[in-house]
Structure 1
Amino acid sequence: MIFRQLYDAASSTYTYLLGDRASGEALLIDPVYEQVPRDLALLAELGLRLVATLDTHVHADHVTGAWRLSQRCGSRIALAAVAGAHGVQRALKHMDIVTFGSRHVAVRATPGHTNGCLTFVLDDQTMAFTGDCLLIRGCGRTDFQQGSPRHLFASVRGQILTLPDDCLLYPGHDYRGITVTTVAEERRYNPRLGGDVDVGDFTGYMDNLHLPHPKQMAVAVPANLRCGQPEGTAPPMDNPDWAPLTLRFSGVWEIEPMALLELGDRVQIVDVREQAEFIDQLGHLQGAKLVPLSQLTERMDEFDRNRPLVVVCRSGVRSAQASVLLAKAGFTQVANLAGGMLRWRGEALPVDSAAE
């Protein structure tokens, strides 16, 4: 199985990718709207086809990427039936099974943080994805969206901490950078729900947290009750319109050699190799401007910010770094030449070998 744990820094949200290597089918658990380009890039690079998105609950701190991914991939949107959200294509109930290739996750209803919280347990019970129900040495709050400390206590004790001791537990968030825990650890060390804590202890603790509401709650909850679909006209799906580009998981947009050749002089080409490489046996692209990577920061004023810019190097590594630097400097139409001059020459495309 392919497994990846992804992170959204703005909301401290973990997104989980589960893929069946043999079939190429995959699930995403708790995708984030703004991170959809990242997730699509990773799916493409791993050769996976997204068949479903699963949200552990109706989130109050970020907008789900479920609708956006469904529009792009045709993936089914799955959420708890009791959430009553519009746009759900598979309404999940306790003990449902969601398959991806030869693998599956089992759905466990774990209400308490919200009334529609779900925990997803991998078929061999080696992993479980607990959303905000059980966090690492903590748990989700219980003071809105039909939350209940009594229900949460019963959910964690009855549906999660009864899993095998070595089952890895992956939460929906962590605010300290901790990535995973186990059933045995939480059963022993969780200060709210482990050890000798009883329902009275837990209820008294949770009823006196007095936390402010999440900053994005007024936006996130209504949006998530639409499965992340924007109101009114949907925004564009972020693909640049000046060329057919591919977003890599690293966050860099790439252009294929033939696509760049077809653009001709409609783009600026910046070669970030050293002078000796610019005129070596690989040659350089016609019209390319030589600006070594070491000089790029000081020479950005030489580029037209209103024209698309393609960055080139020998293999695409240095130019990828240059693309990042240009994007940080405010250039909005930047792409890296996929594979660099090695790929360009390998496809027998025209070069200029004369010195600039």
Structure 2
Amino acid sequence: MIFRQLFDGVSGTYTYLLASRPGGEALIIDPVLEKVDRYMQLVRELDLKLVKAIDTHLHADHVTGLGALRDQTRCITVMGEQTKADVVAMRVAEGDRIAIEGLKLDVLYTPGHTDDSYSFVMDGRVFTGDTLLIRGTGRTDFQNGDPRAQYDSIFNKLLRLPDETLVYPAHDYKGDTVSTIGEERHFNPRLRVRSIDDYVDLMNNLNLPNPKMMDVAVPANMQVGLHQDEVARRGWAVSAAESLTLGGRGDVTLVDLRETGERERHGVIPGSLHAPYAELQANIAAGGALRTFAGAEGRRIVFYCAFGERSAMAVQAAQDAGLTAAAHIEGGIDAWKRAGGPIEA
């Protein structure tokens, strides 16, 4: 396995790049905008393909690199379902699994630092974001932070992982790079409390100044979505209301780009074909399944995903590949549902 821990000295942020050969699919956790060129250089040097970019929560101390990485690589952006970000390609919940070739991250909802904080567990490691730090915990005094929720997240979720589980946080300001659940249980001064009320009192009296970048970072990180209006301007988009007339038409194939877990959890548009976004390039290449469908006389392919992000990238790729009849549903299945479209399990 390829594992790289990268550091931004300005914000004290750790970013993690993970991959497992042979195909070289990679994911990145908590990227910083100013370091995107460095990440891409490393991806090229290691001959990797970045397929997913994840934020553990909506950060207040740096601008995320999610949007820039998506624009350069057409990767899937991922955050928790509580995020206030305008659009991310995939929203996850506790119990979900984020997968790439050879690697799986189990999703834990660990609110407290913010109300959209998540941790990710993988093979004896846990990426804790700002929930559990090395000899500390994330502050709880802004972005709907809640010390009671954080106590529950730490004591009833994270500390129930095996003691030998390696702890990789999103930040450190002292030079520490890794800890373990057992170490934090025994040596983290903020966890030496006798009750939840003691923890709440401790966190409510830290009296810390706001992060220097907060007024810039939070608004920027809420506006990371791919601007789908350019795709619409080119005539490659179908509104949710218009898409309701497409079901059952013999000259239209609706193509669901979401992953199996998303389909099982949120349902599908009746009659649609499943062709995951990860397999898009093979499907639109010569001899690919979607090119075969598109080759049928007068047939149109209409992509959809969760919120329109993956489908907008897919329709651009399809157009580039010569599938000029391709389009996508603006806003994805989320917009379809809001427009009253039928869903089946």
After superposition, residues 2-17 of structure 1 pair within 5 angstroms as: 2-17=2-17
Check if 1:191 corresponds to 2:189.
yes
The one-letter amino acid paired with 1:80 is G
Question: 1:274-302, CA deviations, whole angstroms, 9 ceiling, x for partnerless residues?
Answer: xxxxxxxxxxxxxxxxxxxxxxxxxxxxx
The one-letter amino acid paired with 2:50 is L
Shift of 1:229: 7.3
C-alpha distance in 2 between matches for 1:228 and 1:213: 26
* 2:190 aligned counterpart, secondary structure: coil
In the alignment of these two chains, the number of paired residues is: 229
C-alpha distance in 1 between matches for 2:38 and 2:171: 18
CA contact (8 A) 2:70 2:76 kept: yes
* 2:7 aligned counterpart, secondary structure: strand
1:90 corresponds in structure 2 to: 90
1:56 corresponds in structure 2 to: 56
Check if 1:217 corresponds to 2:206.
no
CA contact (8 A) 2:113 2:146 kept: yes
1:227 corresponds in structure 2 to: 224
CA contact (8 A) 2:21 2:102 kept: no
Check if 1:206 corresponds to 2:203.
yes
CA contact (8 A) 1:112 1:152 kept: yes
C-alpha distance in 2 between matches for 1:208 and 1:225: 28
C-alpha distance in 1 between matches for 2:225 and 2:206: 29
From 142, 158, 161, the equivalent of 1:160 is: 158
1:180 corresponds in structure 2 to: 178
C-alpha distance in 1 between matches for 2:225 and 2:36: 11
The one-letter amino acid paired with 1:145 is Q
C-alpha distance in 2 between matches for 1:98 and 1:165: 23
1:151 corresponds in structure 2 to: 149
TM-score by length of 1: 0.62
Gapped runs of 5+ residues in structure 1? 234-356
* Identity %, equivalent residues: 49
1:45 corresponds in structure 2 to: 45
* 1:83 aligned counterpart, secondary structure: coil
Question: 1:139-189, CA deviations, whole angstroms, 9 ceiling, x for partnerless residues?
Answer: 111011000000000001122111111110001110011000000000111
Shift of 1:85: 1.2
Shift of 1:21: 1.6
Gapped runs of 5+ residues in structure 2? 231-345
C-alpha distance in 1 between matches for 2:180 and 2:105: 18
Q: CA RMSD in A?
A: 1.7
CA contact (8 A) 1:68 1:228 kept: no
CA contact (8 A) 2:85 2:225 kept: no
Shift of 1:227: 2.7
C-alpha distance in 2 between matches for 1:184 and 1:197: 18
CA contact (8 A) 2:166 2:179 kept: yes
* 2:209 aligned counterpart, secondary structure: coil
C-alpha distance in 1 between matches for 2:211 and 2:113: 14
Shift of 1:200: 1.2
After superposition, residues 162-311 of structure 1 pair within 5 angstroms as: 162-193=160-191, 195-227=192-224
* 2:162 aligned counterpart, secondary structure: coil
2:30 corresponds in structure 1 to: 30
C-alpha distance in 2 between matches for 1:131 and 1:228: 21
C-alpha distance in 2 between matches for 1:47 and 1:164: 34
The one-letter amino acid paired with 2:200 is T
C-alpha distance in 2 between matches for 1:151 and 1:12: 24
Shift of 1:23: 2.2
TM-score by length of 2: 0.64
Runs of 4+ in 1 over 6 A off after TM superposition: none
C-alpha distance in 1 between matches for 2:111 and 2:193: 22
C-alpha distance in 1 between matches for 2:181 and 2:146: 22
